[in-house]
Structure 1
């Protein structure tokens, strides 16, 4: 694998604040030459010291993922999902399998009164977030950006069980080598990847990969979806373990959308 490919991250992963408070996302591969990984000398415990751009990974106080525990029920607005069948490109970026959308695809969510556009989604094995100490087989992250460049990431926990039919097209299209990418044969509707029940947990956190920028509103859906063991194993056959350990809450509040509100 070339150095350039190794540096490409799982997605939007660095944010620069201007004097006007506007945030512009860029890619971590564009900043520094640190080669991060999930184990060994490039593993999560070393990220913060690998580059000055990654300092938040060790010094930040609002890091992600977290163990979701002690969440307080609140009357949160439902997340309004406005997804539709769309063309997309699937790639193996060396850290995960990622599906990228063209800008202006029209796939959006509205959360907390703010509209965000779906930029990409990707997967982690095992889940990065845990719920009261329980880990899941995998986790899907749908990354959204608003007009100010701030991010909202919808996390979907994936339990091992029945085959996830909605994931077949993605799984059948896995690029085997890092750096490979191709257009999916059929348009994909990200709505099909979500559970029917969409109550969620909400907290303020960070990207789970370097540079660990603390600019993410996390929306983790309570109800997991299912995927067969064969599907999970197929992912593992291409991408090694790619989950950052849970991070301290440091006094942060986790809100839970209350049922029947």
Structure 2
């Protein structure tokens, strides 16, 4: 059932939406007095949500041309289990799914979704975004962000939807396990920037890779995802002194 996916692409350089998905849904929210503008006050552990200077997501509109190294992705594992955790629809993975950035290997831990997209590209927001969350042995994080646009039915996404429970916290094994790389577009050109988790605790020091080319999902599939997750996107954060490499 294992499948080897070897991907090489040019471009420079990305955890959990990125994510503090371990917290229960009632600890923070996307609206009201527990919404993003209040995250930094909810818990001292979340103070970076208010005080951080390299926060995510962002509107990528300040680009610098860079000679980016090849992006090497070797996914030889599977997407295994799906759960709606009250914040996002998350899929856990199994096996060796590795990305090498800056000469350092990062292992895929999980991927999850946001409707609409959190990051924007030159002001454009997409109807959905997936975050593939990776971690290195020394505890550093990298996220690959993938945008979705309306179009043809997405077969990998449908395998997730087929076994998804709308009950918060109810995990289900995927009957049709698949390689996580099945989501990726053929061309892996990307943008790179330094950012943070997009959910509490908003930890900084996260490498972000945002793929330039979106993939398609049907209007019905995106609507189903949104019906469960609702609007679960943190507003874009100030770019400050950062630039986006392309």
TM > 0.5 between the two?
yes
| Aligned-residue offset at 1:50 | 0.7
Give the aligned length: 231
> For the residues of structure 2 that align with 1:136 and 1:12, how far apart are their CA atoms?
19
* TM-score, structure 2 as length reference: 0.89
| Contact kept? 1:10, 1:95, Cα under 8 Å | no
When residues 199 and 239 of structure 1 are mapped into structure 2, their CA distance, relative to the original with a 3 A threshold, is same
Give the TM-score normalised by the residue count of structure 1.
0.84
Aligned-residue CA RMSD in angstroms?
1.8
Q: Is the 8 A contact 1:10 1:93 kept in 2?
A: no
Asked whether 1:57 is paired with 2:56, we answer no
Contact 1:10–1:98, Cα closer than 8 Å, also in 2 = no
Unaligned runs of 5+ in 2: 1-15
Mapping of residues 222-261 of structure 1, within 5 Å: 222-256=212-246
1:94 alignment partner in structure 2: 86
Quote the offset at 1:34 in angstroms.
7.0
Q: Which moved more, 1:130-139 or 1:182-191?
A: 182-191
Secondary structure in structure 2 of the residue aligned to 1:166: helix
Give the equivalent residue in structure 2 for 1:109.
99
Structure ranking higher in strand proportion: 2
Runs of 4 or more off by more than 6 Å in structure 1? none
Counterpart position of 2:184: 194
Query: What pairs up with 1:18-97 in 2 under 5 angstroms?
Result: 28-29=22-23, 35-86=27-78, 88-97=80-89
Higher relative contact order (CA 8 A, sep 6+): 2
Separation in structure 2 between the aligned mates of residue 169 and residue 65 of structure 1, nearest angstrom: 27
* Cα drift, residue 87 of structure 1: 5.1
Deviation at 1:166, TM superposition (A): 2.4
Give the match for residue 13 of structure 2: none
Structure 1, unmatched stretches of 5+, are 1-8, 14-26, 257-261
**Counterparts of 2:212 and 2:45 in 1: how far apart (Å)?**
33
